[in-house]
Amino acid sequence: MESAAKEKRYRMLTAQTAYQVQFSDSAAGGLQLALSGEWRSANTLPNAQALLEGRESANQIRRVEVDARDLSEWDSGLLVFLSQLRDYCVERQIEFRQESLPRELQSLLELAFAADGREPSSQCPNRESFIEELGIKGVKLAKETREIVQFVGSACAAFGDLLIGRSRMRWNDLFVTIQQAGPEAFPIVALISFLVGLILAFIGTVQLEKFGAQIYVANLVGIGMLREMGAVMAGVIIAGRTGAAFAAEIGAMQSNEEIDALKTLGISPMEFLVLPRMLALMLMLPLLCVFADLVGILGGALVSFSVFHLSPLLYWEQTIGAVSTSDFMLGLIKSVVFGSLVAVSGCLRGMQSGRSSAEVGNATTSAVVTGIVLIVLTDAVFAVVCSILGV
């Protein structure tokens, strides 16, 4: 009697509004809610939790199904009601079925649950097996490898067109990129190289002092900067500074569909975007490498002068006698290779960027990581080859 009175009172209240709710029980604890009329926020819609808790059989409910085929109009008020209803079902482990809702309303419910960080449905997604995950990653790796090979091949073809005079590259873009990648990078390269030379001198002198051979710190700093540290540090700095800028610029163009517009106009993105950047880094990184070598040697000399009281003339003569032309040329060759690797990494990740700002950020991060990893791997290959050749 009390339950009937509650249901009767609720129907009397809703009879005065533009919306209606009808309940119907089914076997095995099923409950169907048939919604009809206009479900708008202005109609003071009921609270779903209070609605279900008001039924004496709520504890026996195992499944709730919502039928909205008779809805005439609805807005966010209906979405709030259904979200409350779904929350109630999830908390009490009741199956919630929404197949009869309009497709757009189902999508809004899924988005609402995803924004709250909850599972969109009561069923747990099936996890892939180890073999499936391995296959997915293998296919992804093969796809990325194919894209890299195609990109490098297109870049080489664009470079070949430039050599034979068939390229449509804009030289103004090359000069602007040279300015950004070269002179504007001198301060940070000078700072890092000076500190690297200073650290090498400190570490070397502390060890050589045990044998009374402090003078050979000039050999250590000179050979280390010319053969390894000058090119590597300049490459790493440019990867973090200029390579990231390349990926961000091209990624932003990708998200704004500017690259698609270039293709529509018959302009090759390789010649218009990639080639000037690759040439700029291949030209400027050797100059930055030479600058880093000089500043690093200066840092080592400053430590020797001020801390260990070595003669400046003696340090200079020892450095000149220790280094050779092959050491200098090896550093220059490395810097050219590192410059091309940084440019290709930045432009490739920019071309692979998605259409959103988050994808552009991910492309920028990936460009830096890829450039630094390639620099370290290539330097290791150079070290092995030089050891075999005796250079």
HSE-up of 127 (CA within 13 Å, CB side)?
Answer: 2
**Cα–Cα distance for residue pair 70/37, rounded to 1 Å:** 7
Q: In residues, how long is the chain?
A: 391
Alpha helices of 225-274 — where are they, by DSSP H?
Answer: 230-238, 244-255, 258-264, 269
CA distances from 21 to 37, 48, 78, 138, 286 (A): 9, 11, 12, 53, 77
For the beta carbon of residue 147, count every other beta carbon within 10 angstroms: 13
Mean of pLDDT over the chain: 81
Most confident of 7-21, 43-57, 305-319: 305-319
More confident call, 95 vs 26: 95
Q: What is the full DSSP assignment across 26-47?
A: EGGGEEEEEEEEEE-GGG-PPP
**Domain residues of the chain, as ranges?**
2-115, 144-389
Q: Which residues pair with 64 in a beta bridge?
A: 31, 96
User: Do 290 and 188 form a contact (C-beta atoms < 8 A)?
Assistant: no
Q: What is the arithmetic mean of pLDDT over 221-237?
A: 90
Most confident of 10-24, 119-133, 167-181: 167-181
H or E segment and range at residue 115: helix 103-115
State both tokens at 372.
């630094």
State both tokens at 230.
């000058």
**Cα–Cα distance for residue pair 76/111, rounded to 1 Å:** 13
pLDDT band at residue 55 under the 50/70/90 scheme: low
The amino acid present at 196, given as its one-letter code, is V
Percent of the chain clearing pLDDT 70 (strictly above): 86
Most confident of 164-168, 169-173, 367-371: 367-371
Task: For 58-92, write each residue's pLDDT tens digit.
Answer: 456 777 777 777 777 777 777 777 777 777 777 77
CATH classification code of 2-115: 3.30.750.24
pLDDT at 156 over 60: yes
More confident call, 49 vs 237: 237
Task: For 308-364, write each residue's pLDDT tens digit.
Answer: 777 888 888 888 888 888 889 999 999 999 999 999 999 999 888 887 888 888 889
pLDDT at 13 over 60: no
**Cα–Cα distance for residue pair 238/338, rounded to 1 Å:** 9
Q: SS3 of 19, please?
A: strand
- pLDDT for 194 equals 92
pLDDT at 168 over 90: no
- pLDDT for 325 equals 87
Work out the angle at residue 189's Cα, subtended by the Cα atoms of residues 338 and 308, and round it to the nearest 5 degrees.
115
pLDDT at 144 over 90: no
Window from 103-112, 299-308, 379-388 with minimum mean pLDDT: 103-112
Q: What is the arithmetic mean of pLDDT over 255-268?
A: 85
Q: What is the arithmetic mean of pLDDT over 223-236?
A: 90
- pLDDT for 59 equals 54
pTM of the full structure: 0.65
CB-based contacts of 134: which residues, under 8 Å, 6+ apart?
none
Q: What is the arithmetic mean of pLDDT over 131-145?
A: 85
pLDDT at 164 over 80: yes
Task: For 19-39, write each residue's pLDDT tens digit.
Answer: 777 777 766 667 777 777 777
User: Do 10 and 48 form a contact (C-beta atoms < 8 A)?
Assistant: no
**Cα–Cα distance for residue pair 305/300, rounded to 1 Å:** 9
User: Do 242 and 350 form a contact (C-beta atoms < 8 A)?
Assistant: no
| 233 closest CA partner among 279, 290, 282, 304 | 290
More confident call, 43 vs 242: 242
Residue 50 phi, psi (nearest 5): -65, -30
pLDDT at 121 over 50: no
pLDDT at 302 over 70: yes
pLDDT band at residue 202 under the 50/70/90 scheme: confident
Most confident of 151-155, 158-162, 194-198: 194-198
User: Do 65 and 21 form a contact (C-beta atoms < 8 A)?
Assistant: no
- pLDDT for 116 equals 57
- pLDDT for 106 equals 74
pLDDT at 213 over 80: no
pLDDT at 100 over 60: yes
- pLDDT for 128 equals 62
